[in-house]
Chain A
Amino acid sequence: MTAAASVPRMPSGRRRILGRDTRTAYLYLVPAFLVMAAITFYPLLFQTWMSFTDFQIGNLRNPATAPWVGLSNYQKILESRLGIPNFDFIRMIAFNLFWALSNVILHVVIGVGIAVLLNSPGLKFKKFYRALFILPVIIPPLIVATVWRNMFDTSNGAVNLGLQAVGGLFKIPAEAFNIDWLRQVQEPIAFLPLPLAYFALLAANTWLGWPLNSVVATGALQSIPHELYEAAEMDGASSWQKFRTVTIPFLRPAMVPYAIYGFVITFNLFYLSYFMSGGGPNGQTELLVTQAYKLVDEQRLYGVAAAFSIFIFFILLVITIFANRAAKATASFDA
């Protein structure tokens, strides 16, 4: 930094500084917003127009020729009349919400559990475990999805082979474990409308998801002053009471925002559903994002896909607003 020879004039007025800032700010923003205007905001506007047209493959050469159909695309989606087998919009939204919620709950519970486990004073090899448990995070999700697809293979997958090996110890015949994880139509739990593929996806995503929650929880755990536990011990608190009254209040401010972030990420998780179950069986594990992809890639219904994306936008908007409310509500709670 070159030292100025003279002390600069003190600003004569606040407005002048602000004015100068505004001009500099716009200068700094111009490149990014020019690019975003062209490839982010304009496509989103264009998409809104597309959603009111019957845009099909024939209109690709000249987009202006797409016939205006009003709200028909929206109506068809809402009424699940797209001519796609097993397409049920309401069921898909319900499943997608349940998928994200069940995953996040599992991730947070397991992540916090293992963070607490690795935070036990006197535990040996902590550093080794912490380093090892980051493994699922560093492998790209696309590759994780294909590997788990392979592991859930019916006749040669690692999961069934492993179950056969363990079952053999208890004299259970190997044929009992030729489980068609990703395609079995019959639901494993009679009163739950969830296919086996859901549980396979859940297992893979739990493997993928808990370690980062554990990292976040570990950071929060290490910020808890030790005196609080000592004070609780003096009051004769049990382990569970200490966990509930000391650990959880400290974890909450770190975990709640991360859980919300995890919810949105999981809600939009393309790779696992697409590569493992392909949305099957009978479209039961289809997510909004995989369906949006198929509307363009397979059905080539561009107008419908645009309307579908607008639905996704509003669903995520509602989730974000709701999540922010929930985050604020929990933050003010005994904080």
Chain B
Amino acid sequence: MATITAAVPRRRLLSRTRTPSSERKMPWRRQLVLQVLCLFVAFTVLFPVLWIVSLAVDPRGLTRPDGLNLIPPGATLKAFQEVLVQPTSNPISFLELAFNSFKLAIGTAIFSVMIGVFAAYAFSRLQFRGRQLLMLAILAVLMLPAAATLAPLFVQLNAINIGGFNLRQSLVGVGLAIISGLLPFAIWNLKGYLDTIPKELEEAAAVDGANRNQTFIRIILPLAVPALAVTAFLGFVAGWTEFFFTTIFLPAGSKETTLAVALNMLVGQFATTTPWSKFSAFAIMFALPVSVVYLLLQKYIVSGLAVGGVKG
């Protein structure tokens, strides 16, 4: 940026200093330069999205594109249809995959937020012995990538067999592995939000004779609904696109396999024969639901940014 402003002739800057800054008009030549710059950035941001959309709607069923046609002639939604029926060589439809991903995502997100909010309240508002130590424990876990607990979780969940049911090879096992990282995240994220709720509200409630539990349920929880929603959503996205544990835990050809695993089969090292239109249609349908919700919740998510992200 510095280079951009520096490129503006010095004389113009001097003349600008004379006009009061309340007058917000930009010289047209400067406006033009900045607009070109903005358009260039917009192009780089949009390009990958346009590329994937153009691949997905290409009617010719090409395995590979024959050129950079951002709007291919005679666009069609055939690839989407194919993906809906059977995206990979496994006999499983897109909706079945999506349902598995959904179960994993909603289960882990709701569980983590429901349990996490109680702990978050304790950390945010209550004074108790061992508070520092327990918070440090949570922070230390937050810092770890999912990779750092992969080996023990694999071995331990694998050791739990109930009849013919192996916990590691099931979606429940994957869910537990996700919660292992998601719960500390939820606690920390919610604590960050609860810290911003004014203490006066609780003091007023206490004067009215409410005890801790009543204050929490009637005052704090209703105020925390947006934070609960955002935290649950971030957890949902993490579960919806979870790849790390799912690929390692679930056996090949599992009926519980998810969208993320299927995407890897479309793009991974064995996927040289997958038509790119199919991959693109799959990627779009995979991303669209969470991207749209993200867009709607964006304002709330971004305001809680400094707090942290879900590990991947």
Contacts and interface: CB of A to CB of B under 8 A. Distances in A.
Interface of A: 1-4, 6-8, 18, 20-22, 24-26, 28-29, 31-33, 35-36, 39-44, 46-47, 50, 55, 60, 63, 112-114, 116-118, 120-125, 129, 132-144, 146-151, 153, 155-156, 158, 161-162, 165, 207, 211-212, 215-216, 226, 229-230, 233-234, 236, 238-240, 243, 257-258, 261, 264-265, 268-271, 275, 278, 288-290, 292-293, 295-297, 302, 305-306, 309, 312-313, 316-317, 320
B126 A40 contact: no
B49 interface: yes
Contact of B48 (A118, A148, A278): A148
A292 B150 contact: yes
Given A36-B184, A156-B276, A239-B8, A29 B119 contact: yes
Contacts of A234: 17
B6 interface: yes
B64 A292 contact: no
B126 A129 contact: no
A212 B119 CA distance: 29
B87 interface: no
Contacts of A144: 48
Size bracket, chain B contacts: 35 or more
A309 B121 contact: no
A1 B210 contact: yes
B89 interface: no
B308 interface: yes
Nearest to A161: B68
A123 B116 CA distance: 44
B305 A212 contact: yes
Given A41-B137, A133-B45, A239-B6, A293 B147 contact: yes
Interface in B265-307: 266-269, 276, 279-280, 283, 286-287, 290-291, 294-295, 298, 302, 305-306
B149 A44 contact: yes
Given A4-B209, A138-B298, A309-B148, A270 B31 contact: no
B306 A261 contact: yes
A60 B276 CA distance: 39
A193 to B, nearest CB: 25
A35 B179 contact: yes
Say what secondary structure dominates the interface of chain A.
helix
Q: Which of A141, A143, A240, A275 has the most CB of B within 10 A?
A: A143
A240 B5 contact: yes
Which A-B residue pairs are the 7 nearest by beta carbons? A4-B209, A122-B26, A113-B1, A25-B128, A32-B119, A268-B145, A292-B147
Contact of A156 (B38, B65, B156, B305): B65
B287 A139 contact: yes
Given A21-B128, A46-B152, A146-B267, A117 B248 contact: no
Nearest to B287: A143
Nearest to A232: B17
B176 A39 contact: yes
Interface in B148-162: 148-156, 158-159
B300 to A, nearest CB: 13
Interface in B62-108: 64-68
Given A161-B67, A297-B247, A312-B145, A132 B48 contact: no
B148 A40 contact: no
Q: Which of B218, B283, B311 has the most CB of A within 10 A?
A: B283
Given A63-B159, A268-B147, A158 B247 contact: no
B56 to A, nearest CB: 11
Contact of B46 (A47, A135, A142): A135
A270 B244 contact: yes
A150 B276 contact: yes
Nearest to A162: B68
B2 interface: yes
A195 to B, nearest CB: 18
A40 B149 contact: yes
A49 to B, nearest CB: 9
Contacts of B209: 3-4, 6-8
A258 B140 CA distance: 18
B312 interface: yes
6 contacts: A1-B205, A123-B26, A147-B51, A230-B21, A238-B13, A316-B144
A132 B42 contact: yes
A313 B32 CA distance: 50
Contacts of A289: 145-147
Contacts of A118: 38
B38 A129 contact: yes
A134 B148 contact: no
A231 to B, nearest CB: 11
Given A21-B127, A296-B151, A141 B143 contact: no
A151 B48 contact: yes
Contact of B183 (A40, A158, A226): A40
Interface string B242-258: 01100110000000000
A67 to B, nearest CB: 15
A309 B147 contact: yes
A240 B6 contact: yes
B149 A309 contact: yes
Contacts of B67: 161
B45 A239 contact: no
